[in-house]
A = this chain, B = another copy of it.
Amino acid sequence: MADEENPVRFGILGCAEIARKICRAINLSPNSIIQAISSRSTEKAKQFAIKNSLSELVKVYGNYETVLDDPSVDAVYIPLPTSLHLKWAVLAAQKKKHVLLEKPTALNVEELDQILEACESNGVQFMDGSMWYHHPRTSRMNELLLDPKLFGQVRTIYSSSSYLPPPQFFEDDIRTKADLDGLGALGDAGWYCIGAILWAMNYKLPTTVTALPATTRNSSGVIMSTTVFLHWEQEETTAIFYCSFLSHETMSVSVLGSTGSFHVEDLIIPYEESSATYNFTSGACFADLHIGWNATEQEVRVHNELPQEALMVKEFSRLVKGIKDFKIRPDTRWGGISRASQVVLDAAKASADGGFKSIYI
């Protein structure tokens, strides 16, 4: 059956800014269509439809419940504030809607476990909205990571995710409000760093997670900037990540192995939509007299047929179609990846909140 036949029909819960990007991705994905959008008011949802040039066939609802009750909706995309994820993701699963959930997935792993349990018991697919996993650059770097000769053992990883929002952000944005997105920079920018580090470690959880005693909070106590140290004792591998709302834009990861290393500056959002690069060095030694290197960095460019968000939607819909059309069981791998990130996120927060002690996982 061609992708275009019987596409997965998405309902969107909420008209957050990020929803614009995913609506575009659904339209670009050959196996997916937007079936319904919703907001807390019909007017707001209508404005969103107009602003994003959505088809007149898209249903417009003034509340989220109606989307979940619409039998023509197969799957929902949930870009609501993190504090609302538990309620709406569980309800969606109970209504047999497949769940594409924006990150951070939940306020803590106990909440995420309820969401994952609801998805599993209702036989629906779960995936979080971390789009960079789906870029072919990520797969190419993964091949490197698995190459014992070119890369060797992972020794240390550094990841940075930051941006400097306008002053209004610090007044208004949900990511600065303790009651809406109490995870702050850790949940927003830090989520990607944690994902990148776990990815490089093939999702093995670290032994300890330690927030370093240099954490900046706003007046509500929400983390605006922090640095976190991860340690895998058995492997003697370390990782550091820095996440911040107070620094110039970064979204980098550097992975250093015993025999090779690579780094990417634009991991989360590539500079360009149609291709992306990573920089790789292997087997480098000082040249004679220590006046140069015998091997220098190579830039490798990887092309992608669709933007990474569309590739994410396409992969999600492929899994949904497998369940819907062929009764294949949901793929629990994506939930497992989200859960690993959430566990590390929780530990980092617990460490920052508890005097920067190491948290054993």
Chain A interface (Cβ < 8 Å from any Cβ of B): 18, 20-21, 24, 152, 155-156, 158, 160, 162-164, 208, 210, 212-214, 216, 225, 227, 229, 231, 236, 238, 240, 242, 244, 246-250, 252, 254, 256-261, 263, 265-266, 269-273, 279, 281-286, 289-293, 296-297, 307, 309, 358
**A289 cross-chain contacts in B, Cβ below 8 A:** 20-21, 24
**A256 cross-chain contacts in B, Cβ below 8 A:** 160, 162, 242, 247-248, 250
**A286 cross-chain contacts in B, Cβ below 8 A:** 163, 249, 269
Query: Which of B20, B238, B261, B307 is the one whose CB lies under 8 Å from A248?
Result: B261
Known pairs A152-B248, A212-B231 / 10 extra A-B pairs, C-beta < 8 Å: A156-B242, A156-B247, A158-B242, A163-B286, A164-B258, A216-B236, A229-B229, A250-B261, A266-B293, A273-B291
Taking the closest CB of chain B, its distance from the CB of A72, in whole angstroms, is 27
Name the CB-closest residue of B to A273: B291
**A21 cross-chain contacts in B, Cβ below 8 A:** 289-291
**A290 cross-chain contacts in B, Cβ below 8 A:** 18, 21, 269
- Known interface pairs A160-B156, A229-B229, A256-B250; A292-B265 also in contact (CB < 8 Å): no
9 tightest A-B contacts by CB?
A249-B284, A155-B247, A271-B296, A214-B238, A214-B231, A248-B261, A21-B289, A240-B240, A247-B256
Judging by beta carbons under 8 Å apart, are A248 and B254 in contact? no
Taking the closest CB of chain B, its distance from the CB of A302, in whole angstroms, is 16
Most central of A24, A269, A283 by chain B CB within 10 Å? A269
Judging by beta carbons under 8 Å apart, are B260 and A248 in contact? yes
C-alpha spacing A270/B160, complex, angstroms:
24
Most central of A162, A214, A269, A270 by chain B CB within 10 Å? A214
Name the CB-closest residue of B to A288: B20
C-alpha spacing A358/B272, complex, angstroms:
42
Name the CB-closest residue of B to A52: B289
Taking the closest CB of chain B, its distance from the CB of A153, in whole angstroms, is 9
**A152 cross-chain contacts in B, Cβ below 8 A:** 248
- Known interface pairs A18-B290, A242-B156, A291-B307; A248-B284 also in contact (CB < 8 Å): yes
7 sample A-B contacts, Cβ–Cβ < 8 Å, listed by A number: A155-B244, A156-B242, A158-B240, A216-B236, A225-B236, A269-B293, A291-B307
Judging by beta carbons under 8 Å apart, are A279 and B307 in contact? no
C-alpha spacing A18/B290, complex, angstroms:
8
Judging by beta carbons under 8 Å apart, are B248 and A242 in contact? no
C-alpha spacing A250/B255, complex, angstroms:
11
C-alpha spacing A268/B20, complex, angstroms:
45
**A210 cross-chain contacts in B, Cβ below 8 A:** 212
Query: Which of B160, B216, B272, B281 is the one whose CB lies under 8 Å from A158?
Result: B160
C-alpha spacing A148/B358, complex, angstroms:
36
